[in-house]
Amino acid sequence: MNSTSGKLPPAMRLPEFPPLSIIKNRLVPGQWDVLAFLLVITFFVYLAEAAHGLIQPLARLEATPISLDPWALVGYSARTGLRMLIAMACSLIFTFTYATLAAKSRRAEMVLVPLLDILQSVPILSFSILIVFFLSLTPGRVAGAEMASVFLIFTSQAWNMAFSFYQSLRSIPDDLQEVSRSFHLTPWMKFWRLEVPFAMPPLIWNMMMSMSGGWFFVVVSEAITVGNTTVTLPGVGSYIALAIEQRNVGAIGYAIAAMFVVILIYDQLLFRPLIASADWFRLEQESGALTPSRSWALTMMRRSRIINVFGRLFAAILNFGRSSARAVTTVSRPRRRRAVQSNSRLADVLWYSFIAVVGFCALVKTGTFILTGVAAGEVGHVVVLGLITLLRVVVLIAIASVIWVPIGVAIGLRPRVARIAQPIAQFLAAFPAILFFPVVVSAIVLLRLNPNIWLSPLMILGTQWYILFNVIVGASALPAELRYVGQNLRVGGWLWWKRIGLPAVFPYYLTGAITASGGSWNASIAAEVAVWGHEKLTATGLGSYIAAATDGGDFQRVALGTVMMSLFVVLINRFFWRPLYTRAERKFRLT
């Protein structure tokens, strides 16, 4: 029978081997494997070296002061870049937990969203009170100072990312929610298969802005001052601070070049691959998508077997709980809903009462602490200073919106332009305000200008890009069908902006405007006090008040200024931004 069929018996068959080309590809490492191996080994070697330095005493930092030698910037840039990477990882963990809880729990949302507004408005100098905690964790060691520096960078990154993720979770289309229920996804699977992919495109752009925000406050985060104690960590921020103090323009130029190189490395190895891979998570697919067509780093990650090991490990974590997914019967749902409804009102009363008691206790405690060192009449003066800073913020946000909304829409609708504009905007957003002090201070002194007016643009210097980046994301998410309908109906000019352009980007614009507004309050500390050598210019406002109190170690006045700034931001968000946000969520949501 075997002879008639032309097949040999199994015992007489020769073993089948794959072609030599396949064996070579499996066993011989390719060029991408070699490149990935070098990058991974270099990163872990430097990480081990940095970890070894954490156990060194703080006295060693004083023994090796900051040098303005350009070659020293190589090590300083690596240290600053590592701090920002760690802070970015912490910000992502915070975003995935905090924003998810705020978006899914009505009671938690009542506390977490206003608290996020407060945290966003708290100046980075006001967190100096918590620096003592980190320094006390490892007394006399560098590790405490490094944790404090990472924490300060974290405070300039996390709030923007959390608010973007929260906005995305609130705007997931109903049909996608229904699909997740049809597939009986567990909460874990739904989070990683639906919610994170849907929120990924705007989150990536806001991650870039958060990284730039870390650069904006890098000087404060690396030169830690608590009372009469100052700890200067090696980094680009400390280098810039010393160059400003010594009025060394050449050193400032070297620092700008070092910042450009580090930002370029982050762009090529982190953000460019993320933007390229974000095309996987877009709801619509069409030719000429926003993402760049090529990313050599993404190609390396896809083809390298070393990185694929980490990819398979991450995929296993994502698939955790797949087998435990079980359908919830439709019969049991009404019973559970009735039980929840019967206890909902009582739970709301208890929850609101708890929030009121905690808020009242915090208010009494804070007021008692402030009034121990501040006269009651000074509170009214601080309110006036807050109104002055508020006027600056309103004017600057309005000007930035008029400028960047049209530009952002134009860039978002043109993918090739977006690929060019993205690294440029990211680099410009990373410029700390202190780098402009030589030009600004010299111009104001030479031309005898009013510091109360001409120092104000420094407030919006780093925060205006939140508006631009979010508008670009909104314009790129505009469905192609909606654009084609506008073209077919020959909708143009102001009518196009009124019916298509502005409604499409309005929710994204609000996310950027809220973040830019809160960031401008934070930046007022750096903008209302400009120092260049022995020249010091001060603008009247709440930011300069907090800066002066911080320099003097007056924690009562620091607390008063911080509470007043937070109060202004919360009231503005509650009575202006939130109604607009709710209206945009209801009226302009694409479902």
Residue 47 lies in a domain: no
pLDDT at residue 262 greater than cutoff 50: yes
Please give the Cα distance from 3 to 487 (Å, whole number). 70
pLDDT at residue 96 greater than cutoff 90: yes
Token pair 């407030």: residue: 459
Rounded to 5°, angle at Cα 468 from 466 and 470: 65
Q: What is the largest CA-CA distance in the chain?
A: 109
Give tens-digit pLDDT for 530-565.
Answer: 777 677 888 899 988 988 887 777 888 888 888 898
> For residues 496 and 504, is the Cβ–Cβ distance under 8 A?
no
Give the confidence band of 98 by pLDDT, cuts at 50, 70, 90. very high
193 versus 349: the higher-pLDDT residue is 193
Residue 367 lies in a domain: no
Residue 208 lies in a domain: yes
In terms of average pLDDT, the best of 18-27, 55-64, 257-266 is 257-266
Mean pLDDT of the 339-351 span:
66
Q: Which two tokens stand for residue 450?
A: 């009013």
232 versus 5: the higher-pLDDT residue is 232
Mean pLDDT of the 182-198 span:
86
Q: Domain span at residue 150?
A: 58-281+289-293+326-356+374-587
Give the confidence band of 34 by pLDDT, cuts at 50, 70, 90. confident
134 versus 588: the higher-pLDDT residue is 134
Mean pLDDT of the 239-268 span:
86
Give the confidence band of 160 by pLDDT, cuts at 50, 70, 90. confident
Residue 554 lies in a domain: yes
User: How many residues appear in the chain?
Assistant: 591
Please give the Cα distance from 23 to 90 (Å, whole number). 42
> For residues 398 and 517, is the Cβ–Cβ distance under 8 A?
no
pLDDT at residue 140 greater than cutoff 50: yes
Strand partners for 229 = 226
Give tens-digit pLDDT for 99-122.
Answer: 999 988 888 888 888 888 778 777
> For residues 184 and 263, is the Cβ–Cβ distance under 8 A?
no
pLDDT at residue 370 greater than cutoff 80: yes
Mean pLDDT of the 128-133 span:
74
DSSP state of 235: S
380 versus 218: the higher-pLDDT residue is 380
- Residue 332: per-residue pLDDT: 42
Task: State how far Cα 74 lies from the chain centre.
Answer: 25
pLDDT at residue 566 greater than cutoff 80: yes
> CA neighbours within 13 Å on the CB side: how many for 191?
18
Task: State how far Cα 191 lies from the chain centre.
Answer: 20
Mean pLDDT of the 29-36 span:
75
CA dihedral 99, 101, 105, 109 (to 10 degrees): -50
Q: List alpha helices for 413-554, DSSP H.
A: 415-429, 437-447, 451-454, 464-476, 480-488, 493-496, 502-527, 542-551
Q: Determine the residue type at 85.
A: L
- Residue 288: per-residue pLDDT: 44
pLDDT at residue 174 greater than cutoff 60: yes
In terms of average pLDDT, the best of 196-205, 305-314, 411-420 is 196-205
Please give the Cα distance from 206 to 159 (Å, whole number). 10
**SS3 category, 539:** coil
Average pLDDT, the chain: 79
Residue 385 lies in a domain: yes
pLDDT at residue 94 greater than cutoff 50: yes
- Residue 399: per-residue pLDDT: 93
- Residue 208: per-residue pLDDT: 83
**Burial profile 336-351: b = 16 or more Cβ within 10 angstroms, e = fewer:** eeeeeeeeeeeeeeee
> For residues 538 and 454, is the Cβ–Cβ distance under 8 A?
no
Please give the Cα distance from 559 to 130 (Å, whole number). 12
Give the confidence band of 382 by pLDDT, cuts at 50, 70, 90. very high
Strand partners for 535 = 532
pLDDT at residue 126 greater than cutoff 80: no
Mean pLDDT of the 19-42 span:
68
In terms of average pLDDT, the best of 43-52, 311-320, 386-395, 432-441 is 386-395
Q: Percent of the chain having pLDDT more than 70? A: 84
543 versus 58: the higher-pLDDT residue is 543
Please give the Cα distance from 479 to 489 (Å, whole number). 16
- Compute the Cα dihedral for 280, 285, 287, 289 and give only its sign: negative
Residue 319 lies in a domain: no
Q: Which two tokens stand for residue 202?
A: 């705007």
Q: How far is CA 556 from CA 400, 521, 565, in A?
A: 34, 19, 14
Residue 464 lies in a domain: yes
Residue 408 lies in a domain: yes
Give the confidence band of 397 by pLDDT, cuts at 50, 70, 90. very high
Please give the Cα distance from 162 to 388 (Å, whole number). 29
- Residue 393: per-residue pLDDT: 92
Q: Which helix (H) or strand (E) holds 225?
A: strand 223-226
Give tens-digit pLDDT for 401-433.
Answer: 999 999 999 888 887 787 777 777 767 776 666
Residues 6+ away with beta carbon under 8 Å from 160: 120, 206, 209, 210, 213, 466, 515, 519
Give the confidence band of 10 by pLDDT, cuts at 50, 70, 90. low
Task: State how far Cα 446 lies from the chain centre.
Answer: 38
Q: Determine the residue type at 113.
A: V
**SS3 category, 404:** helix
The pTM for the full model equals: 0.78
Q: How many CB atoms lie within 10 A of CB 303?
A: 15
Give the confidence band of 289 by pLDDT, cuts at 50, 70, 90. very low
Give the confidence band of 37 by pLDDT, cuts at 50, 70, 90. confident
How many structural domains are present in the chain? Answer: 1
Q: Taking phi first (over 0 means left), then psi (-120 to 50 degrees means alpha), and beta for anything else, what does residue 493 get?
A: left
Give the CATH number of the domain where residue 201 resides: 1.10.3720.10
Helices 296-303 and 305-318: crossing angle in degrees, nearest 10, is: 80
Residues 6+ away with beta carbon under 8 Å from 129: 555, 558, 559
